[in-house]
Chain A
Amino acid sequence: MRTAFGKIKTRLAAGIGSTVAVGAAAVYSVLGAGPPPPVAQYGAGSAIEAGRWRVTPQRAWVSHKRVYGVPIKPGQQALVLEADLSNRTRTSTGSYSNLLRLQLAPGAKPEDPIVAQVRDPQIGPLLHPGMPERVVYVWMMPGSAAPPASLAVDVVAETYKPVDNLYGTPGWFNPAVIGRVTLPLGPPPAGAEQAS
């Protein structure tokens, strides 16, 4: 009698457990299927806290010539975005190429940008903690493509984890889009473009 009652109890408990599990999965899938929440919109001059960087986009233009030391092949053009970058972490780093993601027409594959420092032009410099520097992001495009009316980029931020699961070291993980910057394409600033 006692065993039979125990059996019933066990079955009942297992049934409740799986019902709760199925219900939770259903709730999560319903919540996840909705439209993604709208991202924040930014314009020129707004300081954006994006994980390990603070980025302030300044202006954008289309370049056909060498721009801040970044060579542009004949038959190509480049979308250039100028921004101030400040390293918010405690150590020097150069991992900023995934910070801004170019938004092109659907189907077009965005390439990784080349990042160059404006002061004493140099490609891909280390940026040091608490020392903001002005940089340009350069995306190459075929020269035949019509440039868009304005430049839209997604700002991708990572989150800090004091202890990662493998080595127990602090690090930056889980990139996520936190906002979108839209800048009109204007004329290049003086001194940005060099011949050759």
Chain B
Amino acid sequence: MKRRLATLLLLVAAAAVLFAMQRSTPRYDELTGPLVVSGRMGQAVRTRLFDANVERVEFARRLVYQRFDRETERTTSGLWAIVTVELSARSRSVNVGQASWVGPRGFQYLQTDRLALAPGQSPPAAEPGLPRRARYIFEIRPDQVGGAVLRLSERFAPRLDSEARIKLDALPRKPDGALDIMDTFDMNPVRKEPS
């Protein structure tokens, strides 16, 4: 009787262990997923291929830029978020082409594709020893502003390669503490007046 009980207990225990092992086995996707490098605004986040330093975040309701000498306007049902990043490559030229804005509840907003031929929207190629500024623009819902994270990598969904995750914690504020949202953001480079 005692022996049977022991066998039964052993069986139950084995089933429980097997169930736990089955549930906790990491999936292929997790095993080969991105190697996360976390950081925050204003500090250089060092990944395998590049260093990234988020300088500022701006918000606007409207974007304007010159395309073929014609003023082009882009509106949105939400907000335009403009993130300025200083990039420098580490050992070889690298295109930091994949950026996304991940909101507080995990919604992932990829870079907008509605700014064809806008200035400064070519893929941001960084060269070793030559730091440069890149501008990433997202179309987001207004409730995705606080507690967001910027993800930067060389390609979409990096496998066994590093991905920078930078907390966007220094948002532009008005003196009264409300979020500072510009009506219009001019994407054109500042032109020098001919003297």
Contact = CB atoms under 8 A, between A and B. Distances in A.
Q: Do A and B come from one complex?
A: yes
Interface of A: 90-92, 94, 117, 119-120, 122, 125-126, 128-133, 163, 166-169
Interface of B: 27-30, 73-78, 100, 106-110, 112-114, 116, 139-141
Given A167-B27, A169-B29, A91 B114 contact: no
A120 B75 contact: yes
B73 A128 contact: no
Contacts, number: 59
A90 B108 contact: yes
Contacts of B116: 122
B109 A167 contact: no
Contacts of B76: 119, 131
A26 to B, nearest CB: 35
B163 to A, nearest CB: 15
Nearest to A91: B108
A133 B78 CA distance: 11
A130 B76 CA distance: 13
Contacts of A131: 76-78, 139, 141
Would you list the 4 A-B pairs with minimal beta carbon distance, nearest first? A168-B27, A92-B110, A91-B108, A129-B107
Given A92-B109, A131-B77, A132-B77, 19 more contacts: A90-B106, A90-B107, A90-B108, A91-B108, A92-B108, A94-B113, A119-B76, A119-B77, A122-B114, A125-B113, A128-B110, A128-B140, A128-B141, A129-B108, A129-B109, A130-B107, A133-B77, A169-B27, A169-B29
